[in-house]
Amino acid sequence: MSEHVIHATDADFDAAVLQSAEPVLVDFWAPWCGPCKMIAPALDELADDYAGKVKIAKVNVDENRATALKYHVRSIPMLLLFKDGQVQATQIGAVGKAQLAQLIDKAI
């Protein structure tokens, strides 16, 4: 796992994501979700590739239900790209690293 991936919770989501100076790609996931596990290595690589430009955050939906509800997370993995506290892009389902990089590149 990349040291650049942050784990956000209901308690620190606003500070970690909404108030971030950099765009933040948030991965809403759960430990039992197969597709979530499939995209985890790509997210780790992106966290390293974009270090200093974009943050990658993970939110465990089982442990942080309030945040998942707030952003209407109904299926996982669901990725939301935040910039200046606003959702800029949404990706639902497992996709490859290249598609995730495109999502990020559009926002920065």
The reply to whether 99 belongs to the active site is no
Per-residue pLDDT tens for 37-80? 999 999 999 999 999 999 999 999 999 999 999 999 999 999 99
List domains and CATH numbers for the chain: 5-107 (3.40.30.10)
CA distances from 37 to 81, 105, 107 (A): 19, 23, 25
Mean pLDDT of 82-100: 96
Residue 36 known to be catalytic: yes
Q: Express as a percent the part of the chain with pLDDT over 70.
A: 100
Between these two residues, 1 and 93, which has the higher pLDDT value? 93
Contact 12, 24 (CB under 8 A): no
d(CA 34, CA 19): 31
Annotated active-site residue in 6, 33, 47, 94: 33
pTM (2 d.p.): 0.96
Choose the catalytic residue: 17, 24, 36, 47: 36
Residues in the chain: 108
Q: Which residue has the higher pLDDT, 54 or 2?
A: 54
Q: Are the C-beta atoms of 40 and 30 separated by less than 8 Å?
A: no
- In this predicted structure, the answer to whether residue 11 has a pLDDT above a threshold of 90 is yes
Burial class (CB in 10 A: 0-12, 13-18, 19+), 88: middle
